Structure formats: structure tokens, C-alpha cells
């Protein structure tokens, strides 16, 4: 699978309250949460998003703070499927898989991205190509079991699929 789009860059230590402020946690609907994605960082940020054509690029420790699953759901609800980061807070990383958001950890290669870069992610090859500066960046392969969860749209979809297979 390939994902392409323009980069939307945020910095280091973006916590879950910046991603989706607690005031909006009265909903669990992706579209509603997506309308408020990054309001804790910049209420105007979501105006830059091109649903299905934007990739989020983050610095160190993205998704730190509370363990709320609303944060990756808000990103998905805003129309972003892939987050490329230097590093992720561990609970956010797991919650991303659980909800179907693709987290790609690239370490210091994060520095190669600027706002608005045209990016292509090739999941099978484990490569990110920055078309704007010509750089290729590798990322560790996502384990087969976690790819199956992502392919099912998250953990709930994965479990439904497995249960349906067992009842045949």
C-alpha cells in the first residue's frame, strides 16, 4: 500500500491534550473529533489538512500525556491516515494501531521534512520518499500481526474479522 500527500509538520512533545483537548471528549465520533484535531496546538491548524492527501510529520515523543484513544481517532477523523515521527509515546503508538492510524517512526531522519513537502510512503518497501527534496528514508517494517490490525481498520475490525472467520 502507498500513501501520498503533503506534510503537515508539528514539533516535539505534542501531547494528547494538544491533539484533542479534553473539552471535546464528550464524543467518540471520528468526524466530530477530527473537527477539533490539534485545537490545543493551533485552532487554525486543521484548515491546512487536505483529507486523504495530508500526512502528519511530528518530532520527538508525539502523543505523550494521557492514554486517551481519542487522539489517534481525531487524527483519522481529520482525514489523516499516516503519522511519521521521530518517536512516539508508547501508549499513543499502540493506540494508533488499535484505531487504524499508521505510526511510522523514523528517528533523526525526521529533520528531512518541511511543511508542505510532497511525500510518498511505500509500506511494502518500508520507504518514505520526500519528492520535494529527493530524500529516501527507511522505516522499520511493521510486524505482520500489526499490519493485519491496520488492514482491518484497527483492533475492533480485526476482532470482527477473526470472529467471522471462526463461525464459517
Domain boundaries, the chain: 2-166
Tell me: the pLDDT tens digits for 91-134? 999 999 999 999 999 998 878 899 999 999 999 999 999 999 99
The per-residue pLDDT for range 58-67, each reduced to its tens digit, is 999 999 998 8
pLDDT mean over 76-94: 96
Q: Helix, strand or coil for residue 134?
A: coil
Identify the pLDDT of residue 168: 73
Mean pLDDT of 131-144: 92
Q: Which residues of 135-166 are buried (b: 16+ CB within 10 A; e: fewer)?
A: eebebeebeeebbebbebebbeebeeeeeeee
pTM: 0.93
DSSP 8-state secondary structure symbol assigned to residue 142: P
pLDDT at 85 over 90: yes
Edge-to-edge strands of the sheet including 102-105? 102-105, 82-85, 54-58, 2-9, 118-122, 127-130, 135-138
Residue 86 · residue 60 · CB < 8 Å: yes
CATH of 2-166, one of 3.30.70.20, 3.30.70.3040, 3.20.19.10, 3.40.50.170: 3.20.19.10
What are the cell numbers at 11? 514539533
With bands split at pLDDT 50, 70 and 90, how would you rate the model's confidence at 41? very high
pLDDT at 68 over 90: no
What does the pLDDT average to over 15-21? 96
Q: What pLDDT, on the 0 to 100 scale, is given for residue 21? A: 96
What pLDDT does residue 66 have? Answer: 86
pLDDT average, residue stretch 133-141: 92
Amino acid at each position: 500500500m502507498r500513501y501520498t500527500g503533503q506534510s503537515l509538520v508539528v514539533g516535539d512533545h505534542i501531547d494528547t491534550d494538544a491533539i484533542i483537548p479534553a473539552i471535546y471528549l464528550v464524543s467518540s465520533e471520528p468526524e466530530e473529533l477530527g473537527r477539533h484535531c490539534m485545537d490545543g496546538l493551533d485552532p487554525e491548524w486543521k484548515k491546512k489538512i487536505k483529507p486523504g492527501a495530508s500526512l502528519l510529520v511530528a518530532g520527538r515523543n508525539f502523543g505523550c500525556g494521557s492514554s486517551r484513544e481519542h487522539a489517534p481517532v481525531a487524527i483519522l477523523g481529520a482525514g489523516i491516515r499516516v503519522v511519521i515521527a521521530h518517536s512516539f509515546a508508547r501508549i499513543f503508538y499502540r493506540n494508533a494501531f488499535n484505531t487504524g492510524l499508521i505510526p511510522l517512526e523514523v528517528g533523526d531522519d525526521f529533520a528531512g521534512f518541511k511543511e508542505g513537502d510532497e511525500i510518498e510512503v511505500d509500506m511494502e518497501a518500508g520507504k518514505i520518499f520526500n519528492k520535494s527534496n529527493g530524500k529516501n528514508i527507511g522505516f522499520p517494517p511493521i510486524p505482520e500481526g500489526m499490519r493485519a490490525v491496520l488492514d482491518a481498520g484497527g483492533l475492533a475490525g480485526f476482532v470482527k474479522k477473526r470472529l467471522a472467520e471462526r463461525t464459517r
